[in-house]
Amino acid sequence: MSELSDLYQEVILDHNRRPRNFHAIADASHRAEGYNPLCGDRLTVYLKVDGDVITNVGFEGSGCAISKASASMMTDAVKGRSVAEAEALFDRFHRMVTMPPEAAVEDLGKLTSLAGVREFPVRIKCASLAWHTLKAALAHEQRTSTE
């Protein structure tokens, strides 16, 4: 089990060091700013939606390793998906990070590496910030906060 945690930690460190899709999108159709006052994480999520498919996604901002790694993984996870699929993934991710620590973890691929935040309530908001910001952008809300 500790080996598994090490592996997960590697995934988080890798995404923090080399965040994917870490850039603005000039022709974005949707964008929102997210803020997590508990930790000070701030990020902007950009989306290009064609029809009902998220064809491009990027983010900018600064924050702790968990918030940045989670944003990086979120962009990888929703790129090329339909809006409905992205929203379903939001629900599954949100369920995973807010379940009691002893509950079984659903396999969400790389996103599963963030399941450990369940044991650290303050970190849940760091991990879910990018997802809340994605949801706000899809709803055409300019900004959101984890408060």
Specify the residue, 14 or 87, whose C-beta has the smaller distance to Zn ion.
Answer: 14
List residues binding Zn ion (CB under 5 A).
Answer: 39, 41, 64, 67, 126
> What length does the chain have?
147
How many Å apart are CA 42 and CA 39, to the nearest integer? 9
Burial 22-60 (b: 16+ CB within 10 A, else e): beebeebebbbbbbbebbebbbbbbbbbeeeebebbbbb
Residue 80 or 121 having the CB closest to Zn ion = 121
Which residues have CB under 8 Å from 115's CB, separation 6+?
8, 96, 97, 105
How near is the Cβ of 37 to Zn ion at its closest, in Å? 10
> Nearest distance from residue 38's CB to Zn ion, in Å?
7
Q: Which is nearer to Zn ion, 39 or 108 (CB)?
A: 39
Q: How far is the CB of 70 from Zn ion (least distance, A)?
A: 9
Provide the minimum distance between the beta carbon of 24 and Zn ion in the complex, in angstroms, as a whole number. 21
Of 105 and 122, nearer to Zn ion (C-beta) is 122
